Structure 1
């Protein structure tokens, strides 16, 4: 009995020792698998970070290039604007009107101090090789036209004008008010009236501005 009892005891001890060894082996294998999995995860995370960093740097470089191009274009536009301004100022300096003429925009105007009839003043302007500002309906009654043949668009007649008042003339004929006059008025948009063309008034001539010649 003792020998059999001792055999049983040794069997159980041996069995328990084998179970403990197997358990330690499984723990070692599980730890290695976890380490490998963690290392693989770190590698994937690192690859993602590197990829995002490369993409971010590329976007920053693209934005920097765009900013540089915009800056260059702005500088070129500024240079062009400066050159155009200088050319404009130079042209303004070179453009002039003859003595006694008044410059307004791209034209010169001569305002007479003498008084002449409609036809006489027109001849005077033609003699100066420029245009005469005249408005008449003597060729077609009621159809007011400028002397260059263009139709009247903007009108600044005084109230009641043009009235085409007629004057008695010998031989059963009349003289009509077929020429336009600018007269004094508190309203600058209502200062025209029609008068007889043989009325002596001051007049206005118009011509293009002149340009000084530069000799090299």
Structure 2
């Protein structure tokens, strides 16, 4: 075989080899590209799953919070219903008693004025039997409210029986706003005896001072106060 015949064959062989190598390189690039695409797809799917899981956790937290709020609201409704029923029962007890002839309201309180006369201790006991107590007057507005009722003498929930000359309200509060009449309290002007209970009398010259200290054993009308704010506080304390 001549040299001229061999050269074309070698040339063809070189071309085939080059073509094969080029195909291999192209296949390798495609494979790498496919691997990269699969990796990116995995990253995308993983990111999507993480985001969806975060949304799921958030939604579960929201649902749990809403459920807790719902239970709290239902509990509040039940408590308010119980308070309403208890208030109704106590008011019925008070209104069924025969010793009062008036029911007045001021702020968050109901007031009951008695028609009987008893000493300070007995008067308070009657109030407490109905879930109330002797009236507490702790503002100028409330003092003027009672002055306008035109009642002459009635016991109020102010006493110095625990410590002489230390006046406190029946709920334990110290005396702040004071509406003593002129030269009162005077502890009976030294005449001795138990002069440690306060009574509401007719107004003094300035129109606001009505309190006087009298013997707790004296017989007077009395004023009961049913305070809704204190009632709710007592109910909450008993419940928890």
> Which residues in structure 2 correspond to 1:129-140 (within 5 Å)?
129=129, 131-133=133-135, 134-137=157-160, 140=163
Aligned with residue 205 of structure 1, among 194, 210, 224: 224
Q: Does the Cα contact within 8 Å between 1:109 and 1:204 map onto a contact in 2?
A: no
Q: Could you say what secondary structure the match of 2:178 adopts?
A: coil
**Counterpart in 1 of 2:176?**
155
Q: Does the Cα contact within 8 Å between 1:158 and 1:192 map onto a contact in 2?
A: yes
Residue 69 and residue 50 in structure 1: after superposition, are their counterparts in 2 closer, same or farther (change >3 A)?
A: same
Aligned with residue 29 of structure 2, among 18, 27, 38: 38
Deviation digits for residues 4-46 of structure 1, max 9, x if unmatched?
xxxxxx98x7898688557635632541342132122122112
**Counterpart in 1 of 2:113?**
112
| Structure with greater helix share of residues | 2
Q: Could you say what secondary structure the match of 1:73 adopts?
A: helix
Q: Could you say what secondary structure the match of 1:76 adopts?
A: helix
What's the offset of the Cα at 1:81? 4.3
**Counterpart in 2 of 1:73?**
64
In structure 1, list runs of 5 or more residues that go unmatched: 1-9, 186-190, 210-216
Aligned with residue 19 of structure 2, among 16, 28, 37: 28
Q: C-alpha distance in 1, partners of 2:45/2:182?
A: 82
Q: C-alpha distance in 2, partners of 1:175/1:67?
A: 73
- Alignment partner of 1:83 is 2:58: no
Q: Which of 1 and 2 has greater Rg? A: 1
In structure 2, list runs of 5 or more residues that go unmatched: 96-101, 136-156, 233-240
Q: C-alpha distance in 2, partners of 1:43/1:62?
A: 28
